Amino acid sequence: MASLARRSLALASVLGVVAGAVLAGLGAASCEEAGNGGAGGNGVGGAGGGCPGGGPAPLFTIHIEASHGSVPADTAVTVTWSAGLEPTFKLDDPSTWMTLEDGTNLVCRVAADTGPPLDLAELVCEAWTTGATLVMVTATGFVTHEETLLPKLVDGCDHPVPSEVTITLATDPDAGAP
């Protein structure tokens, strides 16, 4: 009787390992087919965008532009997510220009050694978050933009994939000309 129980347990173990390997192979195959790498552009993937590869990447890359002219000098970007409120980035205040090494998950691409840009067509910020992310962008003479970004999910991936978002600041008709 003990021998039968050991054989049953051994068979169950082997079947569990085989089933796990098959499922893992199916998941990997769906993420390793040739494709465009998804919105983040840094990986491999199937027709649906696939799983990103190539290491860490921000969940959201946010492109901020103004409906007319340059990005306003006093543009401020605030991000809130499950871990809390990130320090606000202010384009006209280099002391707020932080990196991941500074302990923030909101990183905007600016040249720290040159001071605030005078004529910026687009401000690109990265939100290194892991889920739904509330983004608020403010600037004098423009309507405040507030939007909750939701992670992009792709079949065959066990995590959200990076995505790109464009925010266009609209002139505030009640504020007069910016």
Q: What pLDDT, in 10s, does the model give residues 123-133? A: 999 999 999 99
Distance CA 13, CA 11 (A): 5
Q: Is residue 94 part of a domain?
A: yes
Domain containing residue 132: 60-169
Q: Is residue 176 part of a domain?
A: no
pLDDT in tens, the chain (178 residues): 444 333 433 333 333 333 333 333 333 333 433 333 334 433 344 444 557 665 789 999 999 999 999 999 999 999 999 999 999 999 999 999 999 999 999 999 999 888 898 899 999 999 999 999 999 999 999 999 999 999 999 888 888 999 999 999 999 988 765 5
Judge contact between 127 and 59, C-beta under 8 A. yes
Q: Is residue 114 part of a domain?
A: yes
Q: Is residue 13 part of a domain?
A: no
The CATH number of the domain where 88 resides is what? 2.60.40
Q: Is residue 39 part of a domain?
A: no
Q: Is residue 70 part of a domain?
A: yes
Tokens coding 66: 């103004």
Domain tally, the chain: 1
- Classify the C-alpha dihedral 39-45-51-52 as positive or negative: negative
Q: pTM higher than 0.75, yes or no? A: no
